[in-house]
Structure 1
Amino acid sequence: MPHIYFHWAGGNPMLAMLRCLVFGGGDVPSLTREGLRKAEPDLERGPHVHVG
């Protein structure tokens, strides 16, 4: 099972997505988490995401 390590910053995920689309950067952990959740809704089957 793969593991992913991120630093977490709080905030609105929609604003982070817009910032990513417009400026090419943003809050990668929350966008990655949402993408993984949509790709694999069963948390037991998805990768372990560690955020600190």
Structure 2
Amino acid sequence: MPINDLIQHDSSGGQDCVCGPTEQPVKGEDGSVRWMVVHHSLDGREQAERPHAQ
């Protein structure tokens, strides 16, 4: 969830936030898969960030 964004994000765990959060699968070390809700900033900071190497 973006910190110090232009809005207060809805952190209740659902996808009702105005930023249009998405869900991404995250694989655990034990092989299990969990779903992570990813919020998007409204100030455009993702445009300046470089993707992390995987």
Q: Where on the TM-score scale, by shorter chain, does this alignment land: which range?
A: under 0.3
What TM-score does the superposition give when structure 1 sets the normalisation length? 0.21
Which of 1 and 2 has greater Rg?
A: 2
Q: Which has the higher contact order (CA 8 A, sep 6+)?
A: 1
Q: What is the TM-score with the length of structure 2 in the denominator?
A: 0.20
Name the structure with the higher strand share: 2
Indicate the structure with greater helix content: 1
